[in-house]
Amino acid sequence: MDKIRGIISETDYIEFSREFEKERRELEEIVAHGEQELIDIEAKMQIGDNHAEILEQYRHLDKLTCEAMEVLIDRVVVHKRNQGEKSPKIEIYWNF
């Protein structure tokens, strides 16, 4: 509008237009990045909710069943027993 009225020159108008487009693209990238972060956070929250449900389901076990082991444990690593030790080191990797 100001260009039509002669308030700013053609050169200034073109420069302002370029700067505006550059800033608009940058802001769109920031928004897109923020939206992706939000999606990632919501996915992590959903996973956390699922873990909470699983833990609640198996919270009061009287004995460890095969089903519970399959749900709760990813893998168990039994290391070589070091000389002089009664038992080897055992690592349990949970599914969460």
For the entire predicted model, the pTM comes to 0.44
C-alpha triplet 44, 32, 16: angle, nearest 5°: 160
Decide: 45 and 68 in contact? Cβ < 8 Å.
Answer: no
pLDDT at 32 over 90: yes
Taking the alpha carbons at both ends of the chain, their separation in whole angstroms is 59
Residue 12 CA to residue 3 CA, distance in Å, equals 9
pLDDT of residue 77: 94
39-94 pLDDT, tens digit each: 888 887 777 677 777 778 878 888 888 888 888 888 999 999 888 888 899 999 98
